[in-house]
Amino acid sequence: SCRPSIYYRPINPNDLDRLERIHRDIFPIKYESEFFQSVVNGVGIVSWAAVDRSRPDGYSDELIGFVTAKFVLAKESEIDDLIGYDSSQGEETLVYILTLGVVETYRNHGIAMSLISGVIRYASGLSLCRGVYLHVIAYNNPAIRLYNRLMFRCVRRLNGFYLIKRQHFDAFLFVYFFNGS
């Protein structure tokens, strides 16, 4: 088969079924259909898709990876205590990564790395944005290695943050602060 040729583009309404399907396949948590609607319509959510242009017709634009995120007001976020405020400029924001995923056959090619780097590049270009943060379940070593490699800082361990099949799991809170935050 061909060498993958990975492109990144915004997520659009045509991605709806595939996006839902991948979330269902790779996350232990259930996301509501309202969430997917907001993602594909870009309502309060920013997102990027990875596709492999080298795949045959009909698949060359099919989602193989994605990242979804939303804006949060820094002072209303759970890391408001970690931000040094400069209120003269206006309302400071953070970008919160909601979901990140790459389908199994495309893992270990640096796609997640590119998706997260893209979020950082985008968010760091916004004047009032102070950083990017996310939660990750404590046993997810591949994801934790990725965030460490990208220079995110683990600032908290949240006891029993996730409830999956009646079992509680801890989460780590990772933050990537922009200049001086």
What is the binding site for ligand ACO (CB under 6 A)? 26, 97, 99-102, 107-113, 134, 136, 140, 142-143, 145-146
Calpha distance 20→30 (Å, rounded): 10
Nearer to ligand ACO, 108 or 127 (CB): 108
Name the residue nearer to ligand ACO (CB basis): 100 or 120.
Answer: 100
Tokens of 93: 């924001």
**Residue 100 phi/psi, 5° resolution?**
-140, 130
Of residues 113 and 126, the one with the C-beta less far from ligand ACO = 113
Q: Compute the least distance from the CB of residue 22 to ligand ACO, in Å.
A: 9
In the complex, what is the shortest distance from the CB of residue 29 to ligand ACO, in angstroms, rounded to a whole number? 9
Smallest distance from ligand ACO to CB 91, Å: 24
> How many Å separate Cα 48 from the centre of its chain?
9
Smaller CB distance to ligand ACO: residue 140 or 181?
Answer: 140
Do 96 and 70 meet the contact criterion of CB atoms below 8 Å apart? yes
- Alpha carbon distances (Å) from 56 to 11, 62, 99, 102, 125: 20, 10, 27, 19, 35
